Amino acid sequence: METLSSVYLKCGVSWPKNFPSNAKQGQKSGSGSHSGRQQHAHGKPPLYYAIKTRQTSTQGSLQTPHSAPQLHSAMEDVRATSAWVASRSSHVLVDSAGIEKVVSTIESIPKVEWDFEGIHYFDNGPLTVQYLFVLDALNFCFWPDKDLNYDDLASGLKAALQNDKSAFDADRLQKYTGPQLRELLRWPRPLPLEDERVRLLHEVGSELERNFEGKASNLVQCCGKSAVNLVALVARHFPGFRDHTVYKGRQVFLYKRAQIFAADLWGAFGGQGYGEFKDIGSLTIMADYIVPAVLRQLGVLKYSPTLASTIESSGEIGPGTEEEVELRACSVHAVEKMRELISKKSGRQVLSVELDLWLWAAGVQCTSLQHHRTLSIYY
């Protein structure tokens, strides 16, 4: 079992001084740092880009497969069904002893602040909300193109909006073609899952126009300052965000990109205005490629020999397969258990969003970390 600091050391980079570490000696200083382009190959949101951290001491009923989520139960369903998968998993094991060992090394956790000078558009108003919703609609599956990263998407959309404030108007979103999207992003070749990206843009534009007067800000205002309600509303109205599947005969909910939208708003607006949510602590981690790989490195997750071989040989894992569902759901469940233990240790509420950031930050600095490969519109 490795600590988070040893994950950094193994990758040839120094443990960030603002992150918890129990390995004070032998750290390399500043070697092997990576550019933003490398760090965002796995589709993390603006909340995770160019983060500044503050320290806080730690001392001291399921729906049928095609139904929309109920407002009161969206995040309850994510937690309950992830736990259900973890209790029946055939390929991924959540190691309770590994969780306890990791938590015992944690001295403090980072707080998240938005980067206002980076690659993201921000005007502190409704246009930022529209930008974030379009961004999170397209924020998935970059890995098939080794040169394409999250940075290209975020900065490309920012530039497009700066050049034309109407670029993301609902009627415009419904008309984009693949080549036009590439031109918008200034990308020289077809995007991974390009047809799906175009379809999702059309869906966003159509549904915003039909129910929210074309504005994502109106969607946000309908949630009553509840992140849970926002996740449920997004998944209810926009099928492309409806991140759920069936595992061993039971429906499993993850809602990664819908949760990211809520988390991005919270981060961008500093928990105020469009980002004010009374229940931000209800969000789980955003189950992706990086977090499972880091949890495995830490000894929190253990893989079957067959799954480990597939990942280590860069083989693809099909969307909706037992292996893929277990990787994501077991990650959610494991981090929820970590959060509970850390909260008990610290005597304060710890956000899953904070832990997601923390684990992901370790992973993106390690370009040799082997993650699973799945073609999916959900992450």
Q: What are the CA-CA distances from residue 198 to residues 237, 255, 378 (Å)?
A: 17, 20, 14
Distance CA 216, CA 207 (A): 10
Catalytic site residue 136?
no
- Structural contact between residues 291 and 325, judged by C-beta atoms closer than 8 angstroms: no
DSSP 224: T
Phi/psi at 313 (5° precision): -100, 10
146: CB partners within 8 A, 6+ apart: none
Do the beta carbons of residue 333 and residue 340 sit within 8 Å? Answer: no
3-state secondary structure (DSSP) of residue 57: strand
Query: What are the CA-CA distances from residue 47 to residues 153, 259, 283, 308 (Å)?
Result: 14, 12, 14, 30
187/138 Cα distance (integer angstroms)? 14
Contact (Cβ atoms closer than 8 angstroms) between residue 131 and residue 215: no
- Residue 21, token pair as written in the block: 């570490």
Structure-token pair, residue 320: 């909706």
Q: How far apart are CA 348 and CA 342, in angstroms?
A: 9
**Of the listed 151, 152, 288, 356, which one is catalytic?**
288
Query: Are 49 and 120 in contact, with CB atoms under 8 Å apart?
Result: yes
As a whole number of angstroms, the longest Cα–Cα distance in the chain is: 59
- For residue 369, give the nearest of 145, 143, 191 by alpha carbon: 143
Which of 262, 375, 373 shows the shortest CA–CA distance to 327?
A: 373
By annotation, the residues acting in catalysis are 288
